[in-house]
Structure 1
Amino acid sequence: MLNALAVEGYRSLRRVIVPLRRLNVVTGANGTGKSSLYRALRLLADASRNGAVAALAREGGLDSTLWAGPEFVRHDRPVQGTTRMGPVSLRMGFASDDYGYLMDLGLPMPSHSMFGRDPEIKREALWSGPFLRPASLLVERSNSQVRIRASSGQWEQAGQELQTFDSMLSQFADPQRAPELLLVRERMRAWRFYDHLRTDADAPARQAHLGTRTPILGPEGADLAAALQTINEIGPNGAVAEAIDQAFPGSQVAINDHAGRFEIAFHQHGLLRPLSGAELSDGTLRYLLWVAALLTPRPPELLVLNEPETSLHPDLLPALANLVVTAAKTTQVILVTHSRPFLAALDALDDLHTIELVKDRGATTIAGQGPLDEPPWKWPKR
């Protein structure tokens, strides 16, 4: 379980150290940095697949994602430009009870390459224990060089130079000398994100698809029918039926098989025939997608949800909250929402760890968190 998430220099996240528990709800007004925190966590996950630089490019490049305010903020003076003292840097990392990891990205040196605006990975570090100390470092990367702490406690070179755009998580693999690096990489690759479950008229979830066992719902929900049937067969007994009845009393969901192609049939009280996926309202379809995602028979170590209450009627929020709390029994959950009714529904079911984001002179901060309330964290020097 992650204990802390640290981000510095990303959009409005000038410097944020977020304490984490089992069920975490990130909330706040529009524009306070909730989406930025979500994106930063996705960037960390992308690093495990060597995709952080490409992900930044899709956001407009490093220049577009860096903190746009001054390097130093004086609360006794108006906001004004200052002479930069340190290097341009975007830093992200996390800590858990057993291992932690961080990445530091910066601007490249001037060159004749057409890729001269690609950010470079300046530093990476992997350590054991809940916070970074010199004695706890296991693997570290400085520019293109990687070194490993041997069993004797001495440092030795990895014997492999990395390209400036390659992460050591994805490009360096040594199960003998650095098995911890492989373990953390696989953990990060297994993190699961849901932020764009389509419910429009052409949404894949509305159509029949060839059915195969689907313990993990796809990012767009095309395999919804197969995912629900998989839960029915190998998941908690009656879990899908209970979740449907709680949201739509007296209703049932069946999965029809047409020569191997699975399709949803929604039986609603008072109707003479079931509704197909193409006939469902956006809210009903979205709730079914969340049922499939949150009742997964193969829960990840970390599940990150971005505004799952979108397009749902307030009457469905208690049922959705119950699904989230149920999922948090087997996986760590980070949920982003600005809905106060949804937050109240969650709080009525479980002891939430609420992280309320606020803005202070353009920078995102955590409401009520002082310097002594932050989890211990230290960024290494370049």
Structure 2
Amino acid sequence: MATTFAALIFRPAEIPDRALSQGFAVALGGFDVASPRLFIAPLPGVPGFSAAYYSSGEPAGSGDDELDHLSELFEDELSPPVAVLDAAAELGHPGATVFALVFSEEVVHDDGWRFEASGFVRHFVREGEEGIEAGVETPDRSDLVEVDVDLPETATAQEERDATDRAIRPLRGSTFLADELGAPVLAALMGGLFAPERRVAVRLVEPGPASIVDEVTRLNRVLRREDGRGAPASPPPVRGVAAPPTYAAFARAYDWADPADPEDLYRELAIGAVEGTLRFLREDELRGHEREPGWEAAAARQLYPIARLSGSALGGGAAQRAIVALAADGEALWVVRGGTSAAPAGPTFGELLRYLSLGWSRRSDAEEDFIGALMLRARLRSLGG
């Protein structure tokens, strides 16, 4: 079977798993893929380097479709290597270098890259409309030429293949990477592809209570608030539904009593179906949901109310109200109207908190890319994508 893959080549000391996860998630913000993931493997024969193989999670189908997706993703201005470098810099590794290869045996496609903070270099060969073409790109240069293969009229198919291989070998992206890394990169990548060491999920924000605490602390810092001020002893159950552990962690870390902002309103939100003005529910409001008309249906779905949402953006022109509720997994958010009608909110709990902190920050270019990815992913999820 012909092999098609895209891989990021990196030094684990420079690129932690969180940078890989976040970087690919940012690059994939506007792509509607099923369940993107990364498989990590050390590269045999290339000491100190590992590879992250990207999979879209789509059902196996046409190799051409897969190659089209990989090419579009890695040729995008905000490609996975660029976003991974941004994430690595945020995590304390601003001088990292990464390499990438998009490769297919089904057609001639061998596209190699080196990325660092100062820019990139790209070498590739591929099948174009008029035949095989080769190119070199940098931020200041873009050269593209057709590859001529001299063959006698009597050449056999095998002789044509051999001559083509000789002509394109020095122009291949994998040849460029082999020179950069001083090792036969393509053979190493083929070996690692079939011997993954572990899997890394692709996420903008990690799930779990510890991650939620980090996000709340970030939000408090942005708003110049105090961690845990006025926090309840323990969030009460609502209609028999206990608070998920992520919400309990949020409640302990959030600033519930900022004297400079007693209303505690987040206005003009627009992320997925979370549109309008949001206010996190206080303990007495949570207890009030024991009597909220119609909330039995939401409780039957194990939804826990966490915030009230209001504003004309909810539809109908006049001001409307809804509840943002947290699913039992502590990650998925739902917008509940009338206690009965529930629809996916779009962002996860952690993503909503990061959106709030970024929304009230002076953002860097990398943070602008991050909030853009948050909004794109939330939009796709809220539409059922």
Identify whether the pair has TM-score above 0.5, normalized to the shorter chain: no
Which of 1 and 2 has greater Rg?
2
Which has the bigger relative contact order, CA under 8 A and spacing at least 6?
1
